[in-house]
Amino acid sequence: MNMLQTRRTLARAAAFAFAAGLLAGGAFVLFAGQDAFAQEAMAQEKKVDKRKLTTIQTASVDVGKTKHAVEVRYLDLPWGKATFGYIETGVDPRNGQYYAKRTWPIAHLRLAAPAKYQGKTLAPGDYAMIITPKNPETKAGMKLSFASFKPAEANGTFLVPGNVFVETPKDAAVVAEKEIAFAEGAPLVDQLSIWTGKEGKTVSIKIHYGDRTLTEKLTLQ
């Protein structure tokens, strides 16, 4: 009788161990599957091109009774230290000089009142704020230009969400320009940010990109 009970006990223990093994194996397979799914999702997320997620942002300021006297529209471009370096130095061997040899319209300025910039009068209207890379051949530094243009439609813009390589408007005519140098050492930001502020009739436009900043001032007439 004791021998029979012992055999039954061993049989039950073996069955229990087998079932536990199956459950453990199933759990392992389940967790392994979940882990693989998570890794795949992360890989897909890494493949997302942040440049295609850019949207149009707006900064504006009222001056006196003039609403939106100065309005700046721009794309919230993701910070790219290497690519911006190509523009700052005018040298881009990795991309056939693409970043160093083209103009970069970074913002759309709209004026509701005339303004002065670098001694030049900017009439009310639309302007492309254009960065031209440094030119090592001519020793010319990086430049910022204000070029007038006419939008294709009322209240339109040359900016295109998701297109960081948008071209300078074909009818853009430079009205004022100057050599510039972005200051380094600002708190690092992931996306381009442009801020507008005023002091009397002087309007400041501050560009903050990565750890670089540049502030330009317009004087409204």
Q: Are 80 and 64 in contact (CB under 8 A)?
A: no
Give me the percent of the chain exceeding a pLDDT of 70: 79
Radius of gyration of the chain (CA): 30
pLDDT tens-digit readout, 103-118: 999 999 999 999 999 9
Least confident piece of the model among 6-15, 51-60, 199-208: 6-15
Q: What would the mean pLDDT of 150-167 be, rounded to a whole number?
A: 96
Q: Are 148 and 175 in contact (CB under 8 A)?
A: yes
10 Å Cβ neighbour count for 108? Answer: 23
pLDDT tens-digit readout, 78-88: 999 999 999 99
Residue 92 — pLDDT band, cuts 50, 70, 90?
A: very high
Of the candidates 57, 73, 59, which has an alpha carbon nearest to the alpha carbon of residue 198?
59
Q: What would the mean pLDDT of 114-141 be, rounded to a whole number?
A: 97
- What is residue 47's predicted lDDT score, i.e. its pLDDT? 75
pLDDT tens-digit readout, 4-45: 454 555 556 545 444 444 445 554 444 445 555 456 555 555
Q: What would the mean pLDDT of 209-218 be, rounded to a whole number?
A: 98
Q: What would the mean pLDDT of 185-203 be, rounded to a whole number?
A: 97
> Is the model more confident about 7 or about 75?
75
- What is residue 51's predicted lDDT score, i.e. its pLDDT? 86
Q: Are 53 and 38 in contact (CB under 8 A)?
A: no
- What is residue 41's predicted lDDT score, i.e. its pLDDT? 52
- What is residue 48's predicted lDDT score, i.e. its pLDDT? 82
> How confident is the prediction for the chain on average, in pLDDT?
87
Helix (H, G, I), strand (E, B) or coil at 7: helix
Of the candidates 68, 105, 100, which has an alpha carbon nearest to the alpha carbon of residue 84?
100
pLDDT at 127 over 90: yes
- What is residue 39's predicted lDDT score, i.e. its pLDDT? 61
